[in-house]
Amino acid sequence: MNGKRLTPKQAKLPPRATRPLVFGNEEHLNLRSLTFGFARNWEAAGQVIRSTNFENWLKRTLGDEERVNALVKVIGPLTGVGGGESGERVVTRTCMVLDPPQPLHYKGLSLSPDGVGPAMALAIHQTMRRQVLSEIIASRLLIGWLGQQTEQRPEFVAYHNLYENMPVLLSQSGPGYGFERVVYELNRDLPLMSPKFERYYIVEVEEFMDALEKAAQETGRPAHPIDRHVAAFLGARAKAVTDQWLRPLSETEGTSSHALGIIRLLAMLQNSAKKGPMPHLCRWMLDLLEPAVKAYNNRKRQKALRDELDKAVGKGALADMVKPFDDAAALDRDKKGFAAAMTNYARAAAQVGNLEREAARRDTTAQQMGEQAAAVSCGIVASIAISTIAIIYLI
């Protein structure tokens, strides 16, 4: 450049051992080669890592005492029993120390921090691959990988903060959490993958609300629009959707608490997205609220609730649909009133039963007294007749 001849910078080669370490029918003369071999044959690598031969090769042949100390710090003593971890995680952590720049190796997968999210999205319907990726997140292996990097990059801080929160989200099993939630957290541009809404290609929450109004007009629509994908998508893309809104979605489907949880969530999104009237969505949600209406025993109250819901549907306002059910005291009064009515009914029924039994007893007594009077009368008549015959006979 500018007439000057530049000497190209030579890549730094990894240290070479004086003799190879044989693993997987291959001779390895440096740590990069051995790390790659461990990653390909991770099931057999665990035994080699815990062997005296491996420790001696590192110390004497490769002359890397520092690497041995780093391994002991991460996985415990290389020989004998110890370390607290075994098997695949020991292999993974060993690979991190032996050659930090290499991707994270775990159970045959090799991933960099920015590749975990896409891998999880591709594995959404693959049970075995999902399990392996879940173990990577739950074991915080990516945090360990970042901690081993000697070359610190600005994006590593962002990756650390991102993956620090993922195990907590993964460990929760309710709607809005689990594997699906982590997928949407790690793939900010991934469209909603719910089978109910895939055809709409939804990336933003506002697009989801528009799709709801369209889906509400279609025949064969599902009973309700919230599945695990939708809940996870909303939890990841809408800051306002916290655990307060997601927890009710774990209630049993078909119950009033589950229905109210869905509609309250959608009502909040309708207001926050500043969406106008959504009459078709409100009509869709109307059937969901029938259990909430029937939770009241008073027929007049049920009719009043249905009238209020019809008005809310006409306005296209989801928030107005749940307002009548926000008064917990009203439902409590209804339950207490129903309980009192049942008590009064039971008391009245018992009184009627007593009266019926008393009437039957009196009828029986009257019948018995009538039979006794008839017998006495017959006896008197018979006595008179016998006396008359005797008198006539004596005369």
pLDDT at 373 over 60: no
Q: Is 252 exposed, middle or buried (0-12, 13-18, 19+ CB in 10 A)?
A: exposed
Among 50, 82, 102, the domain boundary falls at 102
Which residue matches tokens 């129903």?
A: 338
Higher-confidence residue of 190 and 384: namely 190
Residue 230: domain span: 198-325
Least confident of 68-82, 257-271, 363-377: 363-377
Structure tokens at 238: 């809408």
Instruction: Examine residue 220 and state whether it is found in any structural domain, yes or no.
Output: yes
- Claim to verify: residue 89 and residue 126 sit in the same structural domain: no
Looking at mean pLDDT, say which of 73-82, 298-307, 345-354 comes out highest. Answer: 298-307
Neighbours of 178 (CB within 10 A): 18
pLDDT at 376 over 90: no
Instruction: Examine residue 356 and state whether it is found in any structural domain, yes or no.
Output: no
- Claim to verify: residue 30 and residue 119 sit in the same structural domain: no
Dump pLDDT digits (tens) for 153-183: 889 999 999 999 999 999 999 999 999 999 9
Which residue matches tokens 């693959």?
A: 126
Instruction: Examine residue 336 and state whether it is found in any structural domain, yes or no.
Output: no
Dump pLDDT digits (tens) for 298-315: 899 999 999 999 999 999
Q: Taking residues 343-361, what's their average pLDDT?
A: 72
- Claim to verify: residue 116 and residue 204 sit in the same structural domain: no
Per-residue burial over 357-371, b = 16 or more CB atoms within 10 Å of its CB, e = otherwise: eeeeeeeeeeeeeee
- Claim to verify: residue 89 and residue 155 sit in the same structural domain: no
Q: Where does the pLDDT of residue 391 fall: very low under 50, low under 70, confident under 90, or very high at 90 and above?
A: very low
pLDDT at 166: 98
Structure tokens at 103: 């991707």
pLDDT at 366: 60
Cβ atoms of 62 and 15 closer than 8 Å: yes
- Claim to verify: residue 83 and residue 112 sit in the same structural domain: no
Q: Is 10 left (phi over 0), alpha (psi -120 to 50) or beta?
A: beta
Cβ atoms of 242 and 166 closer than 8 Å: no
DSSP symbols for 187-246? -TTPPP--TTTGGG---SHHHHHHHHHHHTTSTT--S-S--HHHHHHHHHH-TT--HHHH
- Claim to verify: residue 252 and residue 303 sit in the same structural domain: yes
- Claim to verify: residue 219 and residue 311 sit in the same structural domain: yes
pLDDT at 132: 97
Structure tokens at 338: 């129903």
- Claim to verify: residue 207 and residue 319 sit in the same structural domain: yes
Q: Where does the pLDDT of residue 367 fall: very low under 50, low under 70, confident under 90, or very high at 90 and above?
A: low
Among 171, 186, 214, the domain boundary falls at 171
Number of domains the chain contains? 3
- Claim to verify: residue 203 and residue 321 sit in the same structural domain: yes
Instruction: Examine residue 338 and state whether it is found in any structural domain, yes or no.
Output: no
Instruction: Examine residue 3 and state whether it is found in any structural domain, yes or no.
Output: no
- Claim to verify: residue 98 and residue 114 sit in the same structural domain: no
Cβ atoms of 128 and 134 closer than 8 Å: no
- Claim to verify: residue 157 and residue 272 sit in the same structural domain: no
pLDDT at 386: 47
* Angle at 46 (CA atoms; ends 20, 149), nearest 5 degrees: 80
Higher-confidence residue of 331 and 18: namely 18
Among 294, 325, 356, the domain boundary falls at 325
Dump pLDDT digits (tens) for 263-293: 999 999 999 999 899 999 999 999 999 999 9
Q: Where does the pLDDT of residue 351 fall: very low under 50, low under 70, confident under 90, or very high at 90 and above?
A: confident
- Claim to verify: residue 84 and residue 113 sit in the same structural domain: no
Q: Taking residues 327-332, what's their average pLDDT?
A: 74
